[in-house]
Amino acid sequence: MSIHILSPDVADKIAAGEVVERPASVVKELIENSLDAGATDIRVEIRAGGKRLIRVIDNGCGMHGAEVPLAVQRHATSKLQSAADLEHIGTLGFRGEALAAISAVSKTTLVSRHADESTGIEIKMEGSRVLHQRPIGSPPGTSITIEQLFWNTPARLKFLRTEATEAGHISKIVTRYALAYPQVRFSTINDGRLIFQAPGNGDRQQTLIKVYGADIARQMLPVQTEAAGGTAAVRVSGFASQPALHRNNRSYIELFVNKRYIRDRNLSFAVIQAYHTLLPGGRYPIAVLFIDMDPGLVDVNVHPTKAEVRFREASLVFRAVQRAVVRALHDQAPVASLQPSSFPDTRSGWAQRRQTLLQAGQGQEGAGQMAMGIYRQGQPPATPLVGADASAPTASSPLPAASPDLLPPLRPVGQVGAAYLVAEGPGGMYLIDQHAAHERILYEQIVQAEQQPISRQQLLQPLTIELGTQLAGFISEQLSVLQQSGFDIESFGGGSYLLRAIPAFMGKRDPQALLTEVAESLAARDDVVGQAREDELVKIICKRLAIKAGQVLSLAEQRALLQQLEACHNPRTCPHGRPTTLHLSAAQLQRQFGRT
Ligand code: ADP
Ligand code: MG
């Protein structure tokens, strides 16, 4: 179909609204156009998180020279003719708005050459104004360059986040489409660096490995069902995580309808329900599911960004998704892991401890004290280790019975050998190993972070952490635990990560070094799996970030450390089981000095 302007009555029936919110929305629209043009190679280049430049180059069918000026006008499309066509849309685009909307808020250069024509055409625009248009030599296909997005709409420019954040959103869009279209060779080039390349050989499993890393991909079960025929046929395929692999939120469930990424709470719930008792409370699966059905049974003309759809028979789709995932779990998961009772990990180790701690934490008096910050010399005490006690649990429920393991209130006396604190309590003298004690404090804070989030230190500039693909897998497996521990970290593909915030207790330590150590330790402990592995990671963090022996602490710092240790549920041992505290009772002292 050639490009034409939709008649007003058709245009009026299209869900209207703004499609260009941020650089990633531009990339999404341009990729969709390339896919609709049948491209098998799509290259996405960005600079400065897409704020300075976005370029999408494809080898699709291209546009006829005469039609190029039309393409950038509102309601100009080659994908829709009449209002009736809206009932069964088979292309990703159909609104004829994207190029017009994008070029209105940027400096756009479009070069396109139709496969049937010998030369291409270039059109250069600034805002909606055409600067020039001329024939130009070019390979068949289309290249669209968007420079200085929002240069003429400063209000929108202000709402953009950092370059790294915007680049992260773009990266996510590309990898999503790469999974949906495994036969297309997508690549992402960020500031001149190739950060992602899809195999483009049609193998979705291989694409999954590229996107999620080998470790996660290995733990994903293939989903594949062929529903009964007829017009109501709903086919579900893709991948869903084995029960042992889970996350602390549902955003890892990605759904596509007819290869279009969609958000649908109901269908996400269908996936979660399929796991029923297989996952510990508050944990969610990872899934990438492709729902294919007659386009006539799904309305994509609901939302301007086309991310929400309406199903004619929603319950049918719900059941199809749920059945497909259940079938994948039953057919392929190791039998043992399907029995909740034979799921030792969920109730042992990390999860068990968290459960015990949370129960014990109801109404405990130490919460206010935990808000006290330890700060190193020369640093202001402005950042408490945990959130202020405004959110601390109130002491309305009865206190748990005093445990002999809890510590009494301690008064710091001093420090010995820059490694031990001497303190006095009602029962005599206490010697505290400052490193072991701090490890215990950090460990309990992280374990309880779901209740009381770890306070974070926002980085001025997001940091790119390079781990190399091999080590990166060990981190990508554990991103949610790192997030819970106070790291705002996101995979950036190709073995790198973006770090936006670190836990406040990390001080000035080098995040690259820490995360490399974490990944290396995990790599060395491949005998530890499941929840125990999460626990292992938390212990590594605590060990690395705790105050070391040899660090001189002021009296105020000693007091803060003691108060936080007192507030712990298991203050007597470090997370590895070594003692934090030695106690010499008044009676022992008297005996030793021959006073009795
Ligand atoms: P829509 O995709 O909804 O039709 P757009 O504004 O995104 O609207 O694009 C307008 C038209 O320009 C498309 O219908 C298509 O004919 C043409 N077009 C845009 N991008 C490309 C491309 N990469 N390759 C070929 N044709 C394109
Ligand atoms: Mg489009």
- 133 and 176 in a common domain: yes
What angle (nearest 5°) sits at the alpha carbon of residue 447, between those of residues 217 and 531? Answer: 35
User: Of 201, 227, 257, which closes a domain?
Assistant: 201
Q: Mean of the per-residue pLDDT values for the chain?
A: 82
- 228 and 190 in a common domain: no
Residue 345's pLDDT band, with cuts at 50, 70 and 90, is very low
Separation in Å, CA 453 to CA 225, 241, 282, 539: 41, 27, 16, 18
Region 346-355: mean pLDDT is 39
The number of the ligand nearest the C-alpha atom of 3 reads: 1
Which residue among 99, 109, 146 is best mutated to probe the pocket of ligand 1, counting the most ligand atoms within 8 A of its Cβ? Answer: 99
pLDDT of residue 390: 31
Q: What percent of the chain has pLDDT over 70?
A: 85
Region 146-163: mean pLDDT is 90
Q: Is the dihedral of CA 455, 459, 464, 468 positive or negative?
A: negative
E strands, 473-580, where?
488-491, 496-503
Helices 434-447, 349-360: crossing angle, 10 deg rounding = 90
How do 41-47 and 185-190 pair as beta strands?
A: parallel
- 319 and 242 in a common domain: yes
- 224 and 178 in a common domain: no
Beta bridge partners of residue 430, listed in sequence order: 423, 583
How does 96-117 read in b/e, with b if 16+ C-beta sit within 10 Å? bbbbbbbbbbbbbbbbbbbeeb
Q: How far apart are CA 547 and CA 550, in angstroms?
A: 9
Q: Which residue has the tokens 């941020």?
A: 22
Q: Is there a domain that residue 395 lies in?
A: yes
pLDDT of residue 232: 55
CA atoms within 13 A on the CB side of 305: 15
pLDDT of residue 594: 87
Q: How far apart are CA 298 and CA 305, in angstroms?
A: 15
Atom of ligand 1 nearest to the CA of 3: 16
- 190 and 41 in a common domain: yes
- 38 and 71 in a common domain: yes
Q: Is there a domain that residue 343 lies in?
A: no
Q: Which residue has the tokens 């000035």?
A: 508
Separation in Å, CA 518 to CA 82, 207, 369, 487, 541: 58, 26, 30, 13, 7
Q: How far apart are CA 563 and CA 570, in angstroms?
A: 13
Task: Give tens-digit pLDDT for 225-282.
Answer: 865 554 458 999 999 999 888 888 888 999 999 999 999 999 999 999 898 777 777 8
Separation in Å, CA 214 to CA 219, 328, 589: 9, 20, 59
Q: Is there a domain that residue 339 lies in?
A: no
More confident residue, 516 or 438: 438
Query: Which DSSP symbol is given to 114?
Result: -
Q: How far apart are CA 197 and CA 186, in angstroms?
A: 6
Query: Taking the model in full, what pTM does it have?
Result: 0.60
Number of structural domains the chain divides into? 3
User: Of 279, 300, 332, which closes a domain?
Assistant: 332
- 566 and 490 in a common domain: yes
Asked whether 395 and 402 are in contact (CB, 8 A), the reply is no
Q: Which two tokens stand for residue 441?
A: 């404090």
Residue 369's pLDDT band, with cuts at 50, 70 and 90, is very low
Cα(285) to centroid(ligand 2), Å: 32
How do 253-257 and 287-293 pair as beta strands?
A: parallel
Supply the range of the domain harboring residue 12: 8-201
Q: Is there a domain that residue 112 lies in?
A: yes
344 phi, psi to nearest 5 deg: -60, -35
CA atoms within 13 A on the CB side of 155: 0
Cα(76) to centroid(ligand 2), Å: 10
- 369 and 288 in a common domain: no
Q: Is there a domain that residue 338 lies in?
A: no
Task: Give tens-digit pLDDT for 503-546.
Answer: 988 888 888 888 988 888 888 877 777 777 888 889 999 999 99
How do 581-585 and 298-299 pair as beta strands?
A: unpaired
The CATH number that applies at residue 84 is 3.30.565.10
Cα(37) to centroid(ligand 1), Å: 8
- 280 and 193 in a common domain: no
The edge-to-edge listing of strands for the beta sheet with 253-257 is: 220-225, 234-241, 287-293, 253-257, 260-262
Nearest partner of 571 among 430, 462, 469, 450, judged by Cα: 430
Q: Is there a domain that residue 369 lies in?
A: yes
Task: Give tens-digit pLDDT for 85-137.
Answer: 888 888 888 888 899 999 999 999 999 999 999 999 999 999 889 999 999 99
Asked whether 124 and 133 are in contact (CB, 8 A), the reply is yes
- Say how many C-beta atoms besides its own lie within 10 A of residue 86's C-beta: 17
Asked whether 375 and 505 are in contact (CB, 8 A), the reply is no
- 225 and 197 in a common domain: no
Query: Quick one: residue 480, left, alpha or beta (phi over 0 = left, psi -120 to 50 = alpha)?
Result: alpha
Residue 191 scores a pLDDT above 50:
yes
Separation in Å, CA 113 to CA 57, 118, 302, 369, 525: 12, 8, 33, 69, 55
Residues counted in the chain: 596
Q: What is the 3-state secondary structure (H, E, C) of 144-185?
A: EEEECCCCCCHHHHHCCCCHHHHHHHHHHHHHHHHHHCCCCE
339 phi, psi to nearest 5 deg: -95, 115
The CATH number that applies at residue 422 is 3.30.1540.20
The CATH number that applies at residue 327 is 3.30.230.10
Q: Which two tokens stand for residue 229?
A: 């025929």
Cα(22) to centroid(ligand 1), Å: 19
Residue 398 scores a pLDDT above 60:
no
- 307 and 178 in a common domain: no
pLDDT of residue 482: 93
pLDDT of residue 333: 53
Q: Is there a domain that residue 582 lies in?
A: yes
Residue 328 scores a pLDDT above 50:
yes
Asked whether 346 and 531 are in contact (CB, 8 A), the reply is yes
Q: Is there a domain that residue 516 lies in?
A: yes
Residue 442 scores a pLDDT above 60:
yes
Q: Which two tokens stand for residue 506?
A: 């990390």
The number of the ligand nearest the C-alpha atom of 143 reads: 1
Lowest mean pLDDT among 161-175, 410-424, 465-479, 522-536: 522-536
The number of the ligand nearest the C-alpha atom of 59 reads: 1
Separation in Å, CA 72 to CA 95, 96, 98: 12, 8, 8
Q: How far apart are CA 25 and CA 13, in angstroms?
A: 22
Q: How far apart are CA 70 and CA 100, in angstroms?
A: 10
Say which residues have a Cβ less than 8 Å from residue 13's Cβ, sequence separation at least 6: 83, 86, 301
Q: How far apart are CA 65 and CA 71, in angstroms?
A: 10
Smallest CA separation from ligand 1 atom 21, residue? 33
Report residues whose beta carbon is within 6 angstroms of any ligand 1 atom: 3, 29, 33-34, 37, 58, 60-63, 71, 76-79, 93-100, 142
> Over the Cα atoms of the chain, what is R_g?
29
Asked whether 106 and 78 are in contact (CB, 8 A), the reply is no
Smallest CA separation from ligand 1 atom 16, residue? 78
End-to-end CA distance of the chain: 104
More confident residue, 7 or 71: 71
- 194 and 88 in a common domain: yes
Residue 180 scores a pLDDT above 90:
yes
Cα(26) to centroid(ligand 2), Å: 10
Q: Which residue has the tokens 């949370």?
A: 358
Nearest partner of 247 among 482, 472, 493, judged by Cα: 482
Cα(316) to centroid(ligand 2), Å: 30
CB-count burial class (<10 Å; 0-12, 13-18, 19+) for 385 = buried
